[in-house]
Structure 1
Amino acid sequence: MTRTPPSARTTTRRIRLLLVVGLIGVIAAIIAALVHQPRNSSSPSPPVGSASPAPPSSFLAAPPSKAPRKERIGKADGVVPDGVTVFDDRFPAVTNLDPELLGALRQAATDAADDGVTFYVNSGWRSTEYQNRLLRDAVSKYGSEEEAARWVATAATSSHVSGDAVDIGHPDAASWLSGHGAVYGLCQIYKNEPWHYELRPKAIDRGCPHMYADPTQDPRMHQ
Protein backbone atom coordinates (compact mmCIF):
# COMPACT_ATOMS: atom_id res chain seq x y z
CA MET A 1 0.00 0.00 0.00
CA THR A 2 1.28 3.48 -0.92
CA ARG A 3 1.45 5.96 1.98
CA THR A 4 0.80 9.67 1.59
CA PRO A 5 3.81 11.68 2.61
CA PRO A 6 3.43 13.69 5.86
CA SER A 7 3.92 16.97 4.01
CA ALA A 8 1.00 16.22 1.65
CA ARG A 9 -1.32 15.35 4.53
CA THR A 10 -0.45 18.60 6.28
CA THR A 11 -1.19 20.58 3.12
CA THR A 12 -4.58 18.89 2.75
CA ARG A 13 -5.55 19.71 6.34
CA ARG A 14 -4.63 23.34 5.85
CA ILE A 15 -6.75 23.57 2.72
CA ARG A 16 -9.74 22.07 4.50
CA LEU A 17 -9.26 24.42 7.46
CA LEU A 18 -9.10 27.41 5.14
CA LEU A 19 -12.29 26.28 3.39
CA VAL A 20 -14.14 25.90 6.72
CA VAL A 21 -12.96 29.29 7.95
CA GLY A 22 -13.97 30.90 4.66
CA LEU A 23 -17.39 29.27 4.75
CA ILE A 24 -17.95 30.47 8.31
CA GLY A 25 -16.98 33.98 7.25
CA VAL A 26 -19.44 33.95 4.38
CA ILE A 27 -22.26 32.73 6.64
CA ALA A 28 -21.42 35.40 9.21
CA ALA A 29 -21.51 38.10 6.52
CA ILE A 30 -24.91 36.93 5.28
CA ILE A 31 -26.35 36.93 8.82
CA ALA A 32 -24.98 40.41 9.49
CA ALA A 33 -26.53 41.70 6.27
CA LEU A 34 -29.92 40.26 7.17
CA VAL A 35 -29.82 41.68 10.70
CA HIS A 36 -29.02 45.19 9.49
CA GLN A 37 -31.40 45.19 6.50
CA PRO A 38 -34.01 48.12 6.69
CA ARG A 39 -37.47 46.95 7.63
CA ASN A 40 -39.09 48.68 4.64
CA SER A 41 -36.48 47.60 2.12
CA SER A 42 -39.19 45.82 0.15
CA SER A 43 -41.02 49.13 -0.32
CA PRO A 44 -38.68 51.69 -1.90
CA SER A 45 -39.15 55.32 -0.91
CA PRO A 46 -40.89 57.52 -3.47
CA PRO A 47 -38.67 59.86 -5.47
CA VAL A 48 -38.11 63.33 -4.09
CA GLY A 49 -41.00 65.59 -5.05
CA SER A 50 -43.44 62.77 -5.69
CA ALA A 51 -46.67 62.37 -3.74
CA SER A 52 -46.58 60.25 -0.65
CA PRO A 53 -48.47 56.96 -0.89
CA ALA A 54 -52.02 56.97 0.45
CA PRO A 55 -52.33 55.83 4.08
CA PRO A 56 -53.80 52.41 4.77
CA SER A 57 -57.59 52.34 5.04
CA SER A 58 -57.28 51.63 8.76
CA PHE A 59 -55.88 55.15 9.23
CA LEU A 60 -58.64 56.93 7.34
CA ALA A 61 -61.06 58.99 9.41
CA ALA A 62 -64.12 57.08 10.51
CA PRO A 63 -67.52 58.40 9.36
CA PRO A 64 -69.38 60.59 11.86
CA SER A 65 -71.30 58.59 14.39
CA LYS A 66 -74.15 61.06 14.57
CA ALA A 67 -77.02 60.92 12.09
CA PRO A 68 -77.13 63.72 9.51
CA ARG A 69 -79.03 66.80 10.63
CA LYS A 70 -81.59 66.15 7.91
CA GLU A 71 -82.70 62.96 9.66
CA ARG A 72 -83.05 64.74 13.02
CA ILE A 73 -85.38 67.57 11.97
CA GLY A 74 -88.50 67.26 14.08
CA LYS A 75 -91.02 68.87 16.37
CA ALA A 76 -88.45 71.12 18.04
CA ASP A 77 -87.61 72.59 14.61
CA GLY A 78 -91.20 73.45 13.80
CA VAL A 79 -92.39 70.30 12.08
CA VAL A 80 -96.11 69.71 12.71
CA PRO A 81 -98.29 66.65 12.10
CA ASP A 82 -101.75 66.87 10.60
CA GLY A 83 -104.46 68.23 12.87
CA VAL A 84 -102.51 70.90 14.78
CA THR A 85 -104.59 74.06 15.34
CA VAL A 86 -103.63 77.59 16.28
CA PHE A 87 -104.62 76.76 19.87
CA ASP A 88 -102.21 73.85 20.26
CA ASP A 89 -99.48 74.89 22.70
CA ARG A 90 -97.63 71.58 22.46
CA PHE A 91 -95.80 72.58 19.30
CA PRO A 92 -93.04 75.19 18.89
CA ALA A 93 -94.38 75.87 15.40
CA VAL A 94 -97.32 77.51 17.19
CA THR A 95 -95.88 78.80 20.46
CA ASN A 96 -92.81 80.39 18.83
CA LEU A 97 -94.92 82.58 16.58
CA ASP A 98 -94.85 86.30 17.25
CA PRO A 99 -97.28 86.83 20.18
CA GLU A 100 -99.29 89.49 18.34
CA LEU A 101 -99.63 87.31 15.26
CA LEU A 102 -100.69 84.34 17.37
CA GLY A 103 -103.21 86.46 19.28
CA ALA A 104 -104.78 87.70 16.03
CA LEU A 105 -104.91 84.16 14.66
CA ARG A 106 -106.66 82.82 17.76
CA GLN A 107 -109.18 85.64 17.76
CA ALA A 108 -109.95 85.03 14.09
CA ALA A 109 -110.09 81.26 14.64
CA THR A 110 -112.56 81.71 17.48
CA ASP A 111 -114.87 83.71 15.23
CA ALA A 112 -114.36 81.34 12.29
CA ALA A 113 -115.44 78.42 14.46
CA ASP A 114 -118.93 79.97 14.58
CA ASP A 115 -118.99 79.40 10.82
CA GLY A 116 -117.82 75.81 11.24
CA VAL A 117 -114.26 76.60 10.09
CA THR A 118 -111.15 75.38 11.91
CA PHE A 119 -107.73 76.97 11.50
CA TYR A 120 -105.10 74.26 11.11
CA VAL A 121 -101.41 75.09 11.08
CA ASN A 122 -99.62 73.53 8.14
CA SER A 123 -96.46 75.39 9.08
CA GLY A 124 -95.63 78.18 11.48
CA TRP A 125 -92.34 79.03 13.14
CA ARG A 126 -89.36 77.09 11.71
CA SER A 127 -85.79 76.65 12.85
CA THR A 128 -82.94 77.73 10.60
CA GLU A 129 -82.07 74.09 9.99
CA TYR A 130 -85.62 73.24 8.95
CA GLN A 131 -85.78 76.22 6.59
CA ASN A 132 -82.46 75.27 5.01
CA ARG A 133 -83.72 71.74 4.47
CA LEU A 134 -86.93 73.01 2.84
CA LEU A 135 -84.90 75.23 0.53
CA ARG A 136 -82.64 72.36 -0.51
CA ASP A 137 -85.69 70.22 -1.19
CA ALA A 138 -87.24 73.02 -3.26
CA VAL A 139 -84.09 73.40 -5.36
CA SER A 140 -84.15 69.66 -5.99
CA LYS A 141 -87.86 69.74 -6.86
CA TYR A 142 -87.90 72.80 -9.11
CA GLY A 143 -84.46 72.35 -10.66
CA SER A 144 -82.84 75.68 -9.82
CA GLU A 145 -82.34 78.16 -6.99
CA GLU A 146 -84.16 80.84 -8.98
CA GLU A 147 -87.33 78.78 -9.35
CA ALA A 148 -87.15 77.49 -5.78
CA ALA A 149 -87.02 81.10 -4.53
CA ARG A 150 -90.59 81.58 -5.76
CA TRP A 151 -91.73 79.20 -3.03
CA VAL A 152 -89.14 78.99 -0.27
CA ALA A 153 -87.06 81.81 1.21
CA THR A 154 -83.60 81.53 2.70
CA ALA A 155 -83.31 81.17 6.46
CA ALA A 156 -81.94 84.72 6.65
CA THR A 157 -85.04 86.23 5.00
CA SER A 158 -87.82 83.81 5.90
CA SER A 159 -90.76 85.19 7.90
CA HIS A 160 -91.29 81.69 9.22
CA VAL A 161 -87.86 81.61 10.86
CA SER A 162 -88.55 84.95 12.54
CA GLY A 163 -91.98 83.71 13.66
CA ASP A 164 -93.87 86.29 11.62
CA ALA A 165 -95.73 83.99 9.20
CA VAL A 166 -98.08 81.04 9.29
CA ASP A 167 -99.35 78.69 6.60
CA ILE A 168 -103.03 78.02 7.25
CA GLY A 169 -104.98 74.93 6.19
CA HIS A 170 -107.41 73.64 5.14
CA PRO A 171 -108.63 75.48 2.03
CA ASP A 172 -111.82 76.57 3.74
CA ALA A 173 -109.79 78.30 6.48
CA ALA A 174 -107.62 80.11 3.94
CA SER A 175 -110.76 81.12 2.08
CA TRP A 176 -112.33 82.43 5.30
CA LEU A 177 -109.24 84.50 6.05
CA SER A 178 -109.21 85.84 2.51
CA GLY A 179 -112.61 87.39 3.13
CA HIS A 180 -112.29 88.34 6.80
CA GLY A 181 -108.59 88.42 7.67
CA ALA A 182 -108.09 92.16 7.27
CA VAL A 183 -110.46 92.77 10.21
CA TYR A 184 -107.86 91.06 12.42
CA GLY A 185 -104.82 92.48 10.60
CA LEU A 186 -104.17 89.12 8.94
CA CYS A 187 -103.18 89.36 5.29
CA GLN A 188 -102.23 87.07 2.45
CA ILE A 189 -98.83 88.28 1.23
CA TYR A 190 -98.18 86.34 -1.98
CA LYS A 191 -100.61 85.60 -4.79
CA ASN A 192 -99.05 82.18 -5.41
CA GLU A 193 -99.41 81.20 -1.72
CA PRO A 194 -103.05 81.55 -0.61
CA TRP A 195 -102.18 79.78 2.65
CA HIS A 196 -99.39 82.18 3.77
CA TYR A 197 -100.55 84.86 6.23
CA GLU A 198 -98.72 87.57 8.13
CA LEU A 199 -99.81 90.29 10.54
CA ARG A 200 -100.37 93.77 9.11
CA PRO A 201 -101.99 95.83 11.90
CA LYS A 202 -102.72 98.77 9.59
CA ALA A 203 -104.96 96.50 7.54
CA ILE A 204 -107.61 96.79 10.26
CA ASP A 205 -108.29 100.35 9.12
CA ARG A 206 -106.88 100.43 5.61
CA GLY A 207 -107.29 96.91 4.31
CA CYS A 208 -104.53 94.54 3.34
CA PRO A 209 -101.72 95.88 1.12
CA HIS A 210 -101.21 94.84 -2.48
CA MET A 211 -99.97 91.27 -2.76
CA TYR A 212 -96.67 90.30 -4.36
CA ALA A 213 -96.81 87.83 -7.22
CA ASP A 214 -94.42 85.57 -5.30
CA PRO A 215 -91.62 85.93 -2.73
CA THR A 216 -89.06 86.96 -5.35
CA GLN A 217 -91.00 90.24 -5.72
CA ASP A 218 -90.84 90.95 -1.98
CA PRO A 219 -88.07 93.50 -1.18
CA ARG A 220 -87.46 91.74 2.14
CA MET A 221 -86.17 88.72 0.27
CA HIS A 222 -83.30 90.77 -1.19
CA GLN A 223 -81.89 92.25 2.00
Structure 2
Amino acid sequence: MLQNKIKNVLLVLPVVVVAGCSGLAVLDGDPDHDPAQGGAPEGVTLTPFDTNYPAVGNLDAALRKALQDAATDARQRKVDIHIASGWRTKEYQQKLLDAGIEKYGSLEKARKYVNTPEQSTHVSGKAVDVAPTRADDWLIQHGAKYGLCQVYSNEMWHFELLTTPGGKCPPTRTDAAG
Protein backbone atom coordinates (compact mmCIF):
# COMPACT_ATOMS: atom_id res chain seq x y z
CA MET A 1 0.00 0.00 0.00
CA LEU A 2 2.75 2.44 0.96
CA GLN A 3 4.68 1.56 -2.22
CA ASN A 4 1.60 2.38 -4.34
CA LYS A 5 1.23 5.76 -2.61
CA ILE A 6 4.89 6.56 -3.21
CA LYS A 7 4.58 5.49 -6.84
CA ASN A 8 1.51 7.72 -7.28
CA VAL A 9 3.30 10.71 -5.76
CA LEU A 10 6.30 10.19 -8.05
CA LEU A 11 4.02 10.01 -11.06
CA VAL A 12 2.42 13.33 -10.12
CA LEU A 13 5.68 15.22 -9.51
CA PRO A 14 6.69 15.71 -13.17
CA VAL A 15 3.26 17.17 -13.91
CA VAL A 16 3.66 19.69 -11.09
CA VAL A 17 7.08 20.71 -12.40
CA VAL A 18 5.75 21.17 -15.95
CA ALA A 19 2.79 23.19 -14.68
CA GLY A 20 5.20 25.41 -12.76
CA CYS A 21 7.30 26.01 -15.88
CA SER A 22 4.27 26.91 -17.97
CA GLY A 23 3.22 29.35 -15.27
CA LEU A 24 6.55 31.14 -15.62
CA ALA A 25 6.05 31.44 -19.37
CA VAL A 26 2.66 33.01 -18.79
CA LEU A 27 4.12 35.50 -16.31
CA ASP A 28 6.63 36.84 -18.84
CA GLY A 29 3.74 37.88 -21.14
CA ASP A 30 4.77 35.73 -24.11
CA PRO A 31 1.51 34.95 -25.96
CA ASP A 32 3.13 31.93 -27.66
CA HIS A 33 3.18 30.25 -24.26
CA ASP A 34 0.17 31.89 -22.61
CA PRO A 35 -2.82 29.53 -22.83
CA ALA A 36 -5.22 32.36 -21.98
CA GLN A 37 -4.22 34.13 -25.22
CA GLY A 38 -4.37 30.98 -27.33
CA GLY A 39 -0.80 29.80 -26.92
CA ALA A 40 0.47 26.57 -25.44
CA PRO A 41 2.92 26.20 -22.57
CA GLU A 42 6.45 25.57 -23.78
CA GLY A 43 6.96 21.88 -24.46
CA VAL A 44 3.23 21.10 -24.81
CA THR A 45 2.04 19.61 -28.10
CA LEU A 46 -1.67 20.25 -28.56
CA THR A 47 -4.03 17.81 -30.25
CA PRO A 48 -7.64 18.34 -31.35
CA PHE A 49 -8.67 16.63 -28.10
CA ASP A 50 -6.92 19.08 -25.74
CA THR A 51 -10.05 21.12 -25.11
CA ASN A 52 -8.78 22.26 -21.70
CA TYR A 53 -6.50 24.70 -23.58
CA PRO A 54 -8.34 27.73 -25.03
CA ALA A 55 -6.48 27.34 -28.37
CA VAL A 56 -8.51 24.16 -28.88
CA GLY A 57 -11.44 24.60 -26.49
CA ASN A 58 -12.41 27.98 -27.97
CA LEU A 59 -12.47 26.70 -31.54
CA ASP A 60 -15.83 26.70 -33.26
CA ALA A 61 -17.55 23.48 -32.10
CA ALA A 62 -18.12 22.19 -35.63
CA LEU A 63 -14.48 22.84 -36.61
CA ARG A 64 -13.23 21.12 -33.45
CA LYS A 65 -15.46 18.08 -34.08
CA ALA A 66 -14.27 17.83 -37.69
CA LEU A 67 -10.65 18.00 -36.52
CA GLN A 68 -11.26 15.34 -33.89
CA ASP A 69 -12.90 13.03 -36.43
CA ALA A 70 -10.07 13.61 -38.89
CA ALA A 71 -7.42 13.05 -36.20
CA THR A 72 -9.05 9.77 -35.16
CA ASP A 73 -9.04 8.50 -38.75
CA ALA A 74 -5.54 9.83 -39.45
CA ARG A 75 -4.20 8.11 -36.34
CA GLN A 76 -5.46 4.77 -37.69
CA ARG A 77 -3.18 5.49 -40.67
CA LYS A 78 -0.27 6.37 -38.37
CA VAL A 79 -0.57 10.13 -38.93
CA ASP A 80 -0.71 12.35 -35.85
CA ILE A 81 -2.51 15.67 -36.18
CA HIS A 82 -1.27 18.40 -33.86
CA ILE A 83 -2.59 21.91 -33.41
CA ALA A 84 0.20 24.42 -34.03
CA SER A 85 -2.23 27.28 -33.49
CA GLY A 86 -5.97 27.51 -33.08
CA TRP A 87 -8.11 30.16 -31.41
CA ARG A 88 -6.22 33.34 -30.46
CA THR A 89 -7.06 36.60 -28.72
CA LYS A 90 -7.09 39.84 -30.71
CA GLU A 91 -4.03 40.92 -28.72
CA TYR A 92 -2.11 37.78 -29.68
CA GLN A 93 -3.11 38.22 -33.34
CA GLN A 94 -1.90 41.85 -33.23
CA LYS A 95 1.46 40.72 -31.82
CA LEU A 96 1.76 38.23 -34.69
CA LEU A 97 0.95 40.96 -37.20
CA ASP A 98 3.46 43.34 -35.60
CA ALA A 99 6.13 40.62 -35.76
CA GLY A 100 5.23 40.03 -39.42
CA ILE A 101 5.61 43.73 -40.22
CA GLU A 102 9.01 43.72 -38.55
CA LYS A 103 10.07 40.57 -40.41
CA TYR A 104 8.78 41.51 -43.89
CA GLY A 105 9.31 45.28 -43.69
CA SER A 106 5.76 46.49 -44.35
CA LEU A 107 2.13 45.88 -43.50
CA GLU A 108 1.41 45.04 -47.14
CA LYS A 109 4.04 42.27 -47.24
CA ALA A 110 3.17 40.98 -43.76
CA ARG A 111 -0.50 40.69 -44.71
CA LYS A 112 0.40 37.90 -47.14
CA TYR A 113 1.08 35.74 -44.09
CA VAL A 114 -0.78 37.32 -41.17
CA ASN A 115 -4.28 38.77 -41.00
CA THR A 116 -5.33 41.70 -38.87
CA PRO A 117 -7.17 40.89 -35.62
CA GLU A 118 -10.40 42.08 -37.26
CA GLN A 119 -10.02 39.73 -40.25
CA SER A 120 -8.34 36.73 -38.65
CA THR A 121 -10.44 33.59 -38.57
CA HIS A 122 -8.21 32.41 -35.70
CA VAL A 123 -9.68 35.16 -33.49
CA SER A 124 -13.20 33.93 -34.23
CA GLY A 125 -12.18 30.30 -33.62
CA LYS A 126 -12.89 29.31 -37.21
CA ALA A 127 -9.31 28.48 -38.27
CA VAL A 128 -6.60 26.09 -37.18
CA ASP A 129 -2.96 25.63 -38.13
CA VAL A 130 -2.02 21.97 -38.23
CA ALA A 131 1.35 20.27 -37.79
CA PRO A 132 3.52 18.38 -38.63
CA THR A 133 3.90 18.53 -42.42
CA ARG A 134 2.77 14.91 -42.72
CA ALA A 135 -0.53 15.86 -41.07
CA ASP A 136 -0.88 18.87 -43.41
CA ASP A 137 -0.38 16.60 -46.41
CA TRP A 138 -2.90 14.09 -45.07
CA LEU A 139 -5.52 16.80 -44.46
CA ILE A 140 -4.95 18.34 -47.89
CA GLN A 141 -5.71 14.93 -49.39
CA HIS A 142 -8.51 13.82 -47.03
CA GLY A 143 -9.78 16.95 -45.25
CA ALA A 144 -12.83 17.48 -47.48
CA LYS A 145 -14.26 14.23 -46.11
CA TYR A 146 -14.61 16.16 -42.82
CA GLY A 147 -15.35 19.57 -44.36
CA LEU A 148 -11.77 20.76 -43.69
CA CYS A 149 -10.07 22.74 -46.43
CA GLN A 150 -6.68 24.33 -46.93
CA VAL A 151 -7.37 28.05 -47.33
CA TYR A 152 -4.14 29.69 -48.56
CA SER A 153 -1.72 28.39 -51.18
CA ASN A 154 1.23 29.75 -49.21
CA GLU A 155 0.11 28.13 -45.92
CA MET A 156 -0.31 24.39 -46.24
CA TRP A 157 -1.05 24.21 -42.49
CA HIS A 158 -4.04 26.60 -42.33
CA PHE A 159 -7.44 24.86 -42.42
CA GLU A 160 -11.01 26.01 -42.04
CA LEU A 161 -14.38 24.32 -42.24
CA LEU A 162 -15.35 25.47 -45.76
CA THR A 163 -17.53 22.68 -47.10
CA THR A 164 -19.96 20.08 -45.86
CA PRO A 165 -18.37 16.74 -44.96
CA GLY A 166 -17.68 14.91 -48.21
CA GLY A 167 -18.11 18.11 -50.24
CA LYS A 168 -15.64 19.84 -52.47
CA CYS A 169 -13.23 22.44 -51.10
CA PRO A 170 -13.13 25.84 -52.82
CA PRO A 171 -9.93 26.80 -54.65
CA THR A 172 -7.19 28.02 -52.32
CA ARG A 173 -6.58 31.74 -52.10
CA THR A 174 -3.10 32.98 -52.94
CA ASP A 175 -2.42 34.28 -49.42
CA ALA A 176 -4.02 35.90 -46.36
CA ALA A 177 -4.18 39.29 -48.10
CA GLY A 178 -6.23 38.09 -51.01
| Aligned: 1:215 with 2:165 | no
Using a 3 Å threshold, how does the CA distance of structure 1 residues 83 and 70 change in structure 2: closer, same or farther?
A: closer
**Correspondence for 1:161:** 123
1:84 positional shift = 1.1
1:202 positional shift = 3.4
1:72 positional shift = 5.3
| From 102, 105, 120, the counterpart of 1:143 | 105
Paired residue secondary structure (1:197):
strand
| Aligned: 1:191 with 2:149 | no
Paired residue secondary structure (1:216):
coil
**Correspondence for 1:181:** 143
**Correspondence for 1:133:** 95
| From 75, 92, 104, the counterpart of 1:113 | 75
Larger Rg, first or second structure (1 or 2) = 1
* Aligned-partner residue type, residue 64 of structure 2: L
1:147 positional shift = 0.4
CA distance in 2, matches of 1:141, 1:147: 9
| From 75, 81, 85, the counterpart of 2:35 | 75
Higher relative contact order (CA 8 A, sep 6+): 2
**Correspondence for 2:48:** 86
1:71 positional shift = 2.7
1:200 positional shift = 1.5
CA distance in 2, matches of 1:70, 1:135: 20
CA distance in 2, matches of 1:178, 1:89: 23
| TM-score (norm: length of structure 2) | 0.79
Whether the 8 Å CA contact 1:70–1:133 is kept in 2: the answer is no
Paired residue secondary structure (1:194):
strand
CA distance in 2, matches of 1:122, 1:99: 18
* Aligned-partner residue type, residue 125 of structure 2: G
CA distance in 2, matches of 1:70, 1:193: 29
Count of aligned positions? 148
Structure number having the greater strand percentage: 2
C-alpha root-mean-square deviation of aligned residues, in Å? 1.6
